[in-house]
A and B are shown apart, each in its own frame.
Chain A
């Protein structure tokens, strides 16, 4: 299965690279409303995704027969506070998380700094998580090995 995820990631990366989703100018164009390409991409992805996810959930099984279980994301104050921080970072870098990796692959040297920052930011968040739990009403930690 590792190979399948590697292949899916590669196709995903190629699409992000060629669509403008990993392009600094297209991202700024989206936020300036001078280029609506990215709104179109997200809109189509979501509109096609709605019936697609609904059908797969109705089928209830993966291709290998495992039950379809989707872990829902919790609602808390971090959605808005984190959303603001991420939006600022997305605009400044002209990249969201996937495109940071795509840009590294394309040879954009500065994207390595964005990845270093993102890993430092995620590392910092995990390290101070317990102190943020109360003010942001974040969920309790479920430590374990998971379903593997």
Chain B
């Protein structure tokens, strides 16, 4: 199985896991920072929204390091494309194109709705795959175990419904 991005082969899982652990530990050792990405969404919101929630100490003190980290993620994706066969804007979406087959406008609507679930859900849960799934589990935190089991289970159920029931895909 190759990546949608330029049909590249995927890194070995153990190497990728090791790299992600390295980033997590580097953030902690460098600045006592807890890995977290979805918190960065509220950092961005806090730049324009006045609600008290966005004036929390955790947001104000997190922005100076989390916003550069988030910018880095975009740059990392860009470099990955440039160094791996070239960067070009694309609508390609793998299995989605084969089974669901929405055009550009449909994809934008689908992704916006999915994003709403992600943005609202991660903030209600207090974190995402990074803050709960990687850091929280590695720091043996019970709320992170509960949250991680919940979001992985919800993902499994949703994908099973989408690709085995509503849009059954041959070979899946």
Which residues does A use to contact B, with CB under 8 Å? Answer: 1-32, 34-35, 37-38, 40-50, 52-53, 56, 62-64, 66-76, 78-98, 100-111, 113-127, 129-130, 132, 136, 141-148
B53-102 with Cβ < 8 A to chain A: 53-62, 64-66, 68-81, 84, 87-96
Q: Would you call B153 and A87 a contact (CB within 8 A)?
A: yes
Q: Given A56-B28, A145-B57, A121–B120 Cβ distance below 8 Å? A: yes
B43 → chain A, closest Cβ, in Å?
Answer: 9
Complex interface: chain B residues within 8 A of A91 (CB): 154-156, 158-159, 162
Q: Would you call A53 and B28 a contact (CB within 8 A)?
A: yes
Give the secondary structure class of B's interface. helix
For the complex, what is the distance from the CA of A147 to the CA of B57, rounded to whole Å? 8
Complex interface: chain B residues within 8 A of A69 (CB): 32
For the complex, what is the distance from the CA of A3 to the CA of B67, rounded to whole Å? 11
B23 → chain A, closest Cβ, in Å?
Answer: 5
For the complex, what is the distance from the CA of A86 to the CA of B162, rounded to whole Å? 16
Q: Would you call A141 and B52 a contact (CB within 8 A)?
A: yes
B34-48 with Cβ < 8 A to chain A: 34, 37-38, 40-42, 44-46
Complex interface: chain A residues within 8 A of B72 (CB): 5-13
Give the secondary structure class of A's interface. helix
Q: Would you call A13 and B75 a contact (CB within 8 A)?
A: yes
Render B21-38 as a binary contact track against A, CB cut-off 8 A, 1 for contact: 101111111111010011
Q: Given A87-B154, A146-B61, A126–B123 Cβ distance below 8 Å? A: yes
Q: Would you call B30 and A17 a contact (CB within 8 A)?
A: no
Complex interface: chain A residues within 8 A of B123 (CB): 82, 121-122, 125-126
B92 → chain A, closest Cβ, in Å?
Answer: 8
Q: Could you name 9 residue pairs across A and B whose Cβ atoms are closer than 8 Å?
A: A6-B72, A30-B155, A86-B125, A87-B121, A92-B113, A98-B129, A113-B110, A122-B41, A125-B42
Complex interface: chain B residues within 8 A of A87 (CB): 121, 150-158
Q: Would you call A141 and B18 a contact (CB within 8 A)?
A: no
Q: Would you call B73 and A121 a contact (CB within 8 A)?
A: no
Q: Would you call B156 and A44 a contact (CB within 8 A)?
A: no
Which of A38, A67, A102 interacts with B77 by CB under 8 Å?
A102
CB-CB nearest in chain B for A118: B119
For the complex, what is the distance from the CA of A72 to the CA of B152, rounded to whole Å? 21
Q: Would you call A49 and B138 a contact (CB within 8 A)?
A: yes
Complex interface: chain B residues within 8 A of A113 (CB): 107-112, 115
CB-CB nearest in chain A for B90: A107
Q: Would you call A44 and B17 a contact (CB within 8 A)?
A: yes
For the complex, what is the distance from the CA of A11 to the CA of B5, rounded to whole Å? 17
CB-CB nearest in chain A for B125: A82
